[in-house]
A and B are shown apart, each in its own frame.
Chain A
Amino acid sequence: MNVPPELRYTDSHEWVRMEPDGAVSVGITWHAQDRLGDLVYVEVPKVGQSFDKGQACAVVESVKAASDIYAPIAGKVEAVNADLAGNPEKVNEDAYAAWMFRLRPSDLGQIESLLRAADYEKLIAAEEH
């Protein structure tokens, strides 16, 4: 099903990885890129920007449609993956390697309320029907 068990997820199809230094990396899931099709643009936020949980912070655009990416938790952008601007296809090639930005969480408690892999699998199974 392509839902790595060690990651966390949102119901808007972002994945979240906890980094050793306490930051979180964010990207879009395999399911999200599969639905969008070939990506042609990825617009990442700027380092230093702060977002609330659920706030639109990035955009991906495929030939088919544009889609907002939402901050899975509140935090400040510490790093962005500049490589994706020139190579949006990397998201299609390996969604979980193609991190888009890293957040320094402002409320660690929010991480706990992110979906676990099993919940995300249920969500996408429900969406297919």
Chain B
Amino acid sequence: MSASGLKRTALNEEHRALGARLTDFGGWEMPLHYGSQLEEHHRVRRDAGMFDVSHMLAVDIAGEGAEPFLRALLANDVKRLTATGRALYSCMLNEDAGVLDDLIAYRFGPSEFRVVVNAGTADKDLDWMRQQLAARGDRATMRPRRDLAMLAVQGPQARERFWAAWPATRQASESLKTFQAAQLTADGVDLVIARTGYTGEDGFEVMLPADRCVDLWRRLMDAQVAPCGLGARDTLRLEAGMNLYGQDMDESVTPMEAGLAWTVNLDPGHDFIGRQALERRSPRFQLLGLLLQDKGVLRSHQPVRAAGGEGLITSGTFSPTLSRSIALARLPLTAQAGDRVEVQIRGKWLHALAVKYPFVRKGQPLIELDHPTPPEKMQ
């Protein structure tokens, strides 16, 4: 705990030593950038960068009741994780089908799972999960893993650099496909390596004892992996069309209203908390991408005018890969990709185009830009 009351991860001193600009994120003191968030963004798209994500919380759930418990708790279905090492992305809903959080769930065995939840919602999530477990009486234990640190190493060269930094991990993790994880012991350290991420690039997310994290960070630095902060994390995830809890969705909206219908499993027999409400409710709006046509930056809460009614930006930023501003926005159900809309920015209504997202994949734009980025900017 720091004087300011913010929580610190095991890497806090490393961030300070690197001259990071620190910020409060969900009650944690985290690096915003280490000099230039634009450079950090480009390093991840072109090479390899790493993020301290130890503010997020891993919770291990085990026992014969673990699977039924998680099938009830989550809108996606862990039954579909048909082998150890598989993972999925899911929302956790309340009884009204409002989104409590989004998370990744991993299967580590027939009766062993791990969920990783967001930092700002961790306490809320734990309370909710304990409450549900007590009410349901599943035979399962819940164990928050505050002893673990987490690093995301992302980019086309990320995996190779990771193995260069830690050769003993290569064999167990080399054949991991996307959304697969391996539990292994390397040089006496127990860790989990998952081929997942929040950037739209290839790479790993690694969970290991917090007291081993500084050593790994330094070895990754030596392997030329760039430290990257929350600023780059946000521009990367938005380009990749990934939601941010608290902005793109919260308890007041359903997954369908946040572009997350694909994460909800409505198979017969999957009776999850919130299912009934979800099936009763009709979506009030949809989430679409926006590309600003004028100069400026789209930001959360800016009003949108579409042909079919009004909307609101949920997340906006400047896309370093596209050199244009992009956003996710709540729009009327009648809106479609290709529609021209207007966004109110600092008192003026500027032109934007509704587009499908993601905006970028594997470093390449997925959308047509009317005015292509000049070649000299695409280094």
Contact = CB atoms under 8 A, between A and B. Distances in A.
B110 interface: no
Question: Which of A40, A61, A63 has most B Cβ within 10 Å?
Answer: A63
Interface residues of A, number: 11
A40 B36 contact: no
A61 B292 CA distance: 14
A38 B320 CA distance: 11
Contacts of B295: 41, 43
Contact of A40 (B32, B33, B297): B297
B36 A63 contact: no
- The interface residues of chain A, by DSSP majority, are classed as mixed
Contacts of A63: 37-38, 231, 235, 297, 317-318
A38 B38 contact: yes
Given A63-B318, A66-B346, A41 B296 contact: yes
Interface in B205-244: 231, 235
B93 to A, nearest CB: 32
Contacts of A25: none
A89 B38 CA distance: 10
A5 B299 CA distance: 37
A61 B295 CA distance: 10
Contacts of A64: 231
Interface string B242-262: 000000000000000000000
A92 interface: yes
Interface residues of B, number: 14
Contacts of B32: 37
Given A63-B37, A92-B36, A41 B297 contact: yes
A61 B296 contact: yes
Contacts of A66: 296-297, 346
Nearest to A34: B21
A64 B295 CA distance: 15
Interface string A11-48: 00000000000000000000000000110110100000
Contacts of B296: 41, 61, 66
Interface in B22-74: 32-33, 36-38
A37 B37 CA distance: 8
Contact of B33 (A37, A43, A61, A89): A37
A43 B296 CA distance: 10
Contacts of A43: 295
Interface in B308-328: 317-318
B30 to A, nearest CB: 15
A66 B297 CA distance: 8
Contacts of A37: 21, 32-33, 37, 231
A38 B33 CA distance: 10
Contacts of B317: 63
Interface string A59-83: 0010110100000000000000000
Interface of B: 21, 32-33, 36-38, 231, 235, 295-297, 317-318, 346
Give me the 3 closest cross-chain CB pairs, A-B, nearest first: A38-B38, A40-B318, A63-B318
Interface of A: 37-38, 40-41, 43, 61, 63-64, 66, 89, 92
